[in-house]
Amino acid sequence: MTTLVTNTGGRAVDITGELTLTQGPAGLSAGPFPLQQSTTIPPGEHQNVVFTLDAELPNGPWDAQLKLKSGLVEREAVASIIFPDAGQGETVLPRTEPLLLWIALGAAIILITIAMLWWVRRRNTLTHRLS
């Protein structure tokens, strides 16, 4: 689950926190789920923070309690949430083409460099033999 956090202060904040779900189907509770990784947000900026939840959680509705902290500053938010059914929407795969392109380009440059060095060395060897 992601939530958008905005830093309205004058200094960068290093966000940590947790998410707790209560009042779920049949009175279930879940969590607390820790923030996946600490996130630094510059002043006046906003950024998504990510919580990894158990895939077995029912869709809800749930009462979500979000507690975020940066140093001595703590903020809390509550909301009612419902998770979408599994399988809705298209699966989005991470883009790996640019990485593969850079690897292929690097390999091509290395091969061309080796071929040129071999050619120059061969040419110099032939020139010395003819002299």
Rounded to the nearest 10 degrees, how much is the dihedral formed by the CA atoms of 93, 96, 98, 99? 160
Backbone angles phi, psi at 76, to 5 degrees: -135, 145
Count other C-beta atoms under 10 Å from residue 21's C-beta. 25
**pLDDT value at residue 89:** 67
The token duo for 12 is: 């960068």
Per-residue model confidence (pLDDT) at position 31: 83
CATH T-level fold of 2-81: Immunoglobulin-like (2.60.40)
Token pair 């060095």 is found at 117
Alpha-carbon 33 to chain mean position: 17
Residue with structure tokens 């966000």?
15
Domain ranges of the chain: 2-81, 96-131
**pTM above the 0.85 mark?**
no
* Long-range pairs of 80-88 with CB within 8 A, sequence gap ≥ 24: 81/1, 83/57, 83/59, 84/59, 85/59
Selected residue with higher pLDDT from 89 and 123: 123
